[in-house]
Amino acid sequence: MSAPLPPLVDAVVAALLVFGGAFALVGAFGLAKLGDFLKRLHGPTKVTTLGIGSILVASMLWFGLRGGAPPAHELLITLFVFITAPVAAHMMVKGAMAIDDSTKPPPPPERPHDAG
Amino acid sequence: MTAAVLPWVLAMLGAAIFLALYRLVRGPGLPDRILALDTLYVVTTALLIALGIWLDSGVYFEAAMIIALLGFVGTVAFARYLERGDVVE
């Protein structure tokens, strides 16, 4: 498009891209590797925050600092993903609890009923 | 430097997609498959944004946005199906 970025900004963009890609890979590896559903939920939540977040920041720097339009698209995607990711995870755990008793927390211990 | 690093980032995101696909096929339960689908949506969004930087084009943001949006709606619908046995009551 327009003028190339200064070397420092270029290096920051590259570092953010590698950071985000590495987090996406580690999160997906956790999804594939870990032992039960509640453990597996940890990996993808890292992908939806740090992974996609740093890739979006890299994109904002890349397209925003070259005299083009302000990076509204990236901001919208960031906002949307960061708002919806916890909601989606919460709904998934509620669904898992509805069909699988092993994901429910243990009941509270029995206490003798004291009248008065 | 970004140009040198981008193919590796795309490869990492592709490997993440394959790991999520492995969990999608393997299961073992419905919640795991929904979680794998949700991860697929998110990683695909990141992949499209990285592809936009690689091709130096802003066209892919709309596609990434639509995938993120419909992915969330799909995840919520699947989770509601698990919870209530029905998507829209």
How close A108 comes to chain B (CA, Å)? 23
**Cβ contact, residue pair A74, B61, below 8 Å:** yes
Give me the CATH number covering residue B44.
1.10.287
Q: Cβ–Cβ of A18/B5 closer than 8 Å?
A: yes
For B7-44, how does the pLDDT look when each residue is reduced to its tens digit (9 = 90+)?
Answer: 999 999 999 999 999 999 987 888 889 999 999 999 99
What would the mean pLDDT of B1-11 be, rounded to a whole number? 87
Q: Is the pLDDT of residue A9 over 90?
A: no
A48 and B58 within 8 Å at the Cβ level: the answer is: no
What pLDDT shows up at residue B16? Answer: 93
Two structure tokens written together for B84 = 């209530």
Domain of residue B63 covers 2-84
Q: Does B37 map to a domain?
A: yes
Q: Which chain B residue is nearest to residue A8, measuring alpha carbons?
A: B1
pLDDT in tens, A53-102: 999 998 888 888 876 677 788 888 888 889 998 898 898 888 888 887 77
Minimum Cα–Cα distance from B51: chain A residue? A59
The pLDDT of residue A2: 53
Model ipTM value: 0.85
**B88 to chain A nearest CA, in Å?**
15
Q: Is B12 on the interface with A (CB under 8 A)?
A: yes
- How would DSSP label each residue in A2-41? -SPPPHHHHHHHHHHHHHHHHHHHHHHHHHHHSSSHHHHT
CB contact under 8 A, A21 and B8: yes
Copy the structure tokens of residue B76.
């919520």
Residue B89 lies in a domain: no
| Number of domains into which chain B is organized | 1
Nearest CB partner across the interface for B19, out of A10, A28, A91: A28
Tell me if B77 is assigned to some domain.
Answer: yes
**Integer angstrom CA distances of residue B3 from A25, A58, A106, B20:** 20, 13, 51, 27
Q: Which pair of structure tokens corresponds to residue B55? A: 């091709």
Q: A27 vs chain B: nearest CA distance in angstroms?
A: 8
A70 compared with B69, residue with greater pLDDT: B69
